[in-house]
Chain A
Amino acid sequence: MSGHGTSLRRYALTRLALVLPMVFILLTMVFLLMRVAPGDPISASLGGRVPPAVVKQIRHQLGFDKPLYTQYWNYLWDTIRGNFGTTITDRLPITEIIRVNGAATLELTIAAMFVAITVGVIVGLVCGRYRDTPIDATGRLYGIVIYAVPPFFLGLLAQLIFGVWLGWLPVSDRASPIVQATLQTHTNLFLIDTLIDRQWYAFWDCVKHLILPATTLGLVISGIFVRLIRVNVIRTLRDDYVEAARARGIDEHTVVFSHAFRNALVPVITIVGLQMALLLGGAILTETTFNWPGIGKELVNYLQNRDYAAVQGIIIVFALVVVAVSVVIDFVNALIDPRIRY
C-alpha cells in the first residue's frame, strides 16, 4: 500500500471523477425538463405584452430558434464556463442573482445550520445519554413533531408571537429600509458588511432581522440532528472502548462526556451534508414566508412570471451546490477517517 498522502489524493480524484457523470445527468435532466416541455417559454414569460417581432428577436438572441441539439450543446458549454444564462423578464444574468441573492441565502442557511446543530446536538446527546427515560421520550417526540412542522407554518407562528403580539422582532426583509439604503455592500453578507464598516447599529438591525427566519429554518432541520445524534450516542455507549473505560473505574460522567460524546459527534459533518437538499428546500419556503431576498424567493418570483430561463439557471445552481457539498463532505470524511478509501 502506498503512503497515506497518495491514497487520499487518489480518493479525492476518483470522487471528483465520479461527480462528472452525475453533473452531466443533472444538466441533461434540467434541459429536458425545461426545453422539451410543451409550450413556448418566450411567449409564456412575456405574455401578450410584446409584439411578435420582438418575441422573435428575443428568441433569436437566446438561441431558441436553433435546432434542439445545438441548443443542448450551447447550454452545456455555457454552463461549464460558468454562464448560467440570462433571465427573460428582466434580462439579468443568473450569475448576478447568485452574487446578490445567493449571499442572502448563504447568510440565512449558515445561521440556520448553527441553530440546528446547537439544538440538535444538545437534545440528541441528552436523549442518547438517558435512553428510554421520560427525558428521552420527550426529546424524541420533539424531534418528530418539529420535523412535521413545515417551515412556513413555524414561520407564521414566530411572526405572530414575536413579531405581532410581543413586537420584539421584525418579520420581513434583511434590514430596515434606512439601514439597507445606507449600507455599503462588500460581500453582500450584511452581517459581515456592517462589521467591516463598524456600523454597530446596522449590525444589530441585521441580526434582529435574521433571528426569526434562521431560528425557523434551523429548528425544522434540528429534528434530524436529534434523531441521528441520539442513535450515535446509544451506539457509542455500547462500544468496547466505553466499556473498557468504565471497567477501568473512570466515573460515568467522564466516560460519557470525554469518551462517548466526542465520538458520537464525528458523523455530524455527514449529517450536515445530507441535509443540504432539505436545507435548500426549507430555505425556499422560509425566504418566501419572511420575504427574505434570497435565491429561493427569487426562484418563486421567476416561477410566477413563468421565466423559464431564470428558473433553469437557478435550478442548475441549486443542483450544483448540492453536488459540490456532497463532494466536500466526502472529502472531509476521508480526511478524518483513514478507512474511507476506494
Chain B
Amino acid sequence: MAQVAVPRATRPRRLLPGVRRAVEPIREARGFAKAMLWAGAGITGFFILIAIIAPLISPYGFDQYQADGKRFPQLAPPSHEHLWGTTVQSVDVMSRVIYGTQTELKVVILSLAFSLLIGVPVGLISGYFGGPLDRALVLIMDALFAFPYLLLAIVIAFLLSSTVGSSVVVAAIAITVVYIPQYFRVVRNHVVSVREESYVEAARAIGAKPFTIMRKYVFFNVVQNVPVIATLNAADAVGTLAALGFLGYGIQPSEGAEWGYDIQRAVSDTASGIWWTGLFPGFALVLLVTGLTLLGEGLNETINPVLRRRKIVKFELGSTEGEAEAGAISEAD
C-alpha cells in the first residue's frame, strides 16, 4: 500500500474529493466482493452495449414477420435463417431478445429517474422539517411499503392502462410507485440523524437558509447509500417489468419487444415441446437481473463499511503481513 501513498501526493489536491472517496473502496475490493463487482459490471455493460447497437446486430425488426414479401415460418426451430427460431407470429426470436434489451433498460432508467427525483427530495424535506407532514408521509410510505410490491405495480398499471394506455412511460410509472418508499425511507431516516450534527447546527447558526443547508450540508451526506439501492432496485425493476409483461400489463407488443410478454406467449408453446420461444428471452432476463444484482451486491459490500472486508487477517504466529496490510489501508482512509 506504500506505493499508493506516493502518487497521491503528486495528484492535484481537492480535485473532486467526494468522487475519490467513493472510488477508493472499489479499488480496494477483495475476494468475492471484487468478483461480484466486476462480473456484475461486465454483464450490465454487455447488455447496455447490446441495447445501443441493437439495430446493427439484430437480424430483423422486433415485430418483423416477413422479408422480401415472403412470410417467415411459424414456430420454426432454430436454423440458419433464424438462429433462435421463430414465434407463433413468425417473428424472429433473436431479434425480439436483442430489441428487448432496449425496452428493459429504457423502462429501468426511466423508473429509477422518476423514483429518485421524487423519493430523494421528499425524504430530504420530510426528514429535515419533521412535524405532522413528516409523520403523515412516514405512515403513507410505510403502508405502501407493506403492500405486496408486485400487486401495487399491477394495480397501478391496470388503472393507467384503462385510462392512458400502456407504454414505456406507463410501465415506468407503475414501477416507480413501488420504489419511491424505499428512497424516501433511507434518505429521510438518514436526514433525521444528520440534522442534529454539529456542522448542520453551525450552518444554521451562521444564518443559512433551510434549503441551502439541505443542498450544501445534508444532501451529500445522505446520498451515499442511494447508488447501492438504485442498482439493486434496477435489478428488481427488470423483474417487475417482466412480471407486468407476463400478466399483460407491460409494453404493447407493437411498441417494443419485452421478454416477460414473450415468456407469457411461450408458456402455451411448451406443451408441445417448443422450447426456443421461451428459453432465450428467459435466459436474457435472468442474466440481466443477475448482472445488476451482482453489481449492486458488489457495490454494497465494498462501500458499506459494516460488510466491507479488505483482506482476511489471519492471526498466525510469524505472519504479520495481513495485519500490516489492513493497518495501512485504514490509515489511508
* A interface list, Cβ under 8 A from B: 21-22, 25-26, 29, 33-34, 37-39, 44, 132, 136-137, 140, 144-145, 147-150, 152-153, 155-157, 159-160, 163-165, 171, 276-278, 280-282, 284-285, 288-289, 299-300, 303-304, 306, 311, 315, 318-319, 322-323, 326
Known: A33-B155, A39-B163, A322-B146. A148 touches B278 (CB 8 A): no
- Further contacts, 14 of them, CB under 8 A, given A29-B143, A284-B154: A25-B139, A26-B146, A37-B162, A38-B163, A132-B32, A144-B36, A145-B286, A148-B290, A150-B243, A152-B246, A155-B267, A160-B275, A284-B150, A311-B155
Contact status of A319 and B146, CB under 8 A, knowing A140-B32, A148-B293, A150-B260: yes
B260 touches A33 (CB 8 A): no
B264 proximity list for chain A (CB < 8 A): 152
Nearest CB on B from A253, distance (A): 21
- B140 contacts chain A at the CB level, 8 A cutoff: yes
Q: Which residues of A contact B275 (CB under 8 A)?
A: 160
Q: Closest CB of chain A to B119's CB: distance in Å?
A: 17
The distance from the CB of A138 to the nearest CB of chain B, in whole angstroms, is 11
A132-B294 CB under 8 A given contacts A25-B140, A150-B260, A284-B150 = no
Contact A164 B294, beta carbon cutoff 8 Å: no
CA distance A4 to B267 in the complex (A): 55
Which residues of the partner chain B approach A306 to less than 8 Å between Cβ atoms?
Answer: 162
B270 A44 Cβ-Cβ under 8 A: no
Q: How far is the CB of A284 from chain B (nearest CB, A)?
A: 6
Q: How far is the CA of A303 from the CA of B36 in the complex (A)?
A: 39
Name 25 A/B residue pairs within 8 A (Cβ), A-sorted.
Answer: A22-B146, A25-B140, A29-B140, A29-B144, A39-B163, A148-B286, A148-B289, A148-B290, A150-B242, A150-B243, A150-B246, A150-B263, A150-B285, A153-B278, A156-B278, A157-B279, A163-B270, A164-B273, A277-B146, A281-B151, A284-B150, A303-B247, A318-B151, A319-B148, A326-B146
Residues of A within 8 A of B139 (CB): 21-22, 25
Across the two chains, which residue of chain A brings its CB closest to B291?
A148
CA distance A33 to B158 in the complex (A): 11
Q: Chain B residues with Cβ under 8 A from A150's Cβ?
A: 239, 242-243, 246, 260, 263, 285-286, 289
Where chain B touches its partner, the secondary structure class is helix
Task: Note all chain B residues with C-beta closer than 8 A to A277.
Answer: 146-149
For residue B151, which residues in chain A have a CB less than 8 angstroms away from its CB? Answer: 280-281, 284, 299, 315, 318
Nearest-neighbour CB distance to chain A for B270, whole angstroms, equals: 5
B77 at the interface (CB under 8 A from A): no
| Given A152-B267, A303-B154: A322 in contact with B148 (beta carbons within 8 A) | yes
A303 near B148 with CB under 8 A, answer no
Q: Does B282 contact A (CB under 8 A)?
A: yes
Given A148-B235, A285-B150, answer yes or no on A39-B162 (Cβ-Cβ < 8 Å).
yes
B122 CB to closest chain A CB (Å) equals: 17
Contact, CB under 8 Å: B143 / A22 = yes
Encode B161-179 as 1/0 by CB contact (under 8 A) with A: 0110000000000000000
B31 within 8 A of partner (CB):
yes
- List the A residue with the shortest CB-CB distance to B154: A303
B146 pairs with A152, CB closer than 8 A = no
B150 contacts which chain A residues (CB < 8 A)? Answer: 280-282, 284-285
Residue in A21, A165, A278 whose CB lies within 8 Å of B273: A165
Does B323 sit within 8 A of A, measured CB to CB? Answer: no
Question: Is B271 in contact with chain A by the CB < 8 A criterion?
Answer: yes
Task: Flag whether B142 is at the interface (Cβ < 8 A).
Answer: yes
List chain A residues, Cβ under 8 A from B294.
Answer: 144
Are A144 and B142 within 8 A (Cβ)? Answer: no
**Is the C-beta of B109 less than 8 angstroms from some C-beta in chain A?**
no
Are B247 and A300 in contact (CB-based, < 8 A)? yes
User: Please, which residue of chain A has its CB at the minimum distance from the CB of B35?
Assistant: A137
| Complex contact A288–B289 (CB within 8 A) | no
Instruction: Assess A37 versus B142: contact at CB under 8 Å? Given A132-B32, A303-B158.
Output: no
B282 near A153: Cβ-Cβ < 8 Å: yes
Question: A160 CA to B282 CA in the complex, in Å?
Answer: 13
Contact B286 A153 (CB under 8 A): yes
Interface status of B297 (Cβ within 8 A of chain A): yes
A164 to B159, CA, bound (A): 37
CB-based nearest A residue for B153: A281
Question: Pick the contact of B293 from A39, A144, A282 — CB < 8 Å?
Answer: A144
Q: Do the beta carbons of A144 and B297 come within 8 Å of each other?
A: yes
B243 surroundings in chain A (CB, below 8 A): 150, 152, 281, 285
Indicate if the CB atoms of A132 and B31 lie closer than 8 Å: yes
Q: Does B266 contact A (CB under 8 A)?
A: yes
The residue in A21, A150, A155, A276 that gathers the most chain B C-beta atoms within 10 A of its C-beta is A150
A291 CB to closest chain B CB, in angstroms? 9
Q: How far is the CA of A102 from the CA of B147 in the complex (A)?
A: 18
Q: How far is the CA of A279 from the CA of B140 in the complex (A)?
A: 22
Which of B31, B32, B149, B293 lies in contact with A147, CB distance below 8 A? B293
Alpha-carbon separation in the docked complex, A278 to B312 (Å): 35
CB contact between A315 and one of B155, B246, B263, B297 (< 8 Å): that residue: B155
Q: How far is the CB of A135 from chain B (nearest CB, A)?
A: 12
**Which B residues, 271 to 314, have Cβ-Cβ distances below 8 Å to chain A?**
271-273, 275, 278-279, 282, 285-286, 289-290, 293-294, 297, 312
Given A148-B235, A300-B247, CB of A281 within 8 Å of CB of B163: no
Q: Mark B7-39, 1 if CB is under 8 A from A, else 0.
A: 000000000000000000000000110011000
Residues of chain A contacted by B59 (CB below 8 angstroms): none
Residues in A whose Cβ lies below 8 Å from that of B149: 277, 281
A160/B270 contact (C-beta < 8 A), A132-B31, A153-B285, A304-B248 known: yes
The one of A25, A140, A156 that contacts B263, using a Cβ cutoff of 8 Å: A156
Set of chain B residues within 8 Å of A165, measured between Cβ atoms: 273
- Chain A residue, CB-CB nearest to B294: A144
A137 touches B32 (CB 8 A): yes
Q: A153-B278, A164-B270, A326-B146 are in contact. Are A288 and B247 (CB under 8 A)?
A: yes
B246 near A322: Cβ-Cβ < 8 Å: no
Give the shortest distance, in Å, between A137 (CB) and chain B (any CB): 6
Docked-complex contact B143 and A25, CB < 8 angstroms: yes
Nearest B residue to A147 by beta-carbon distance?
A: B293
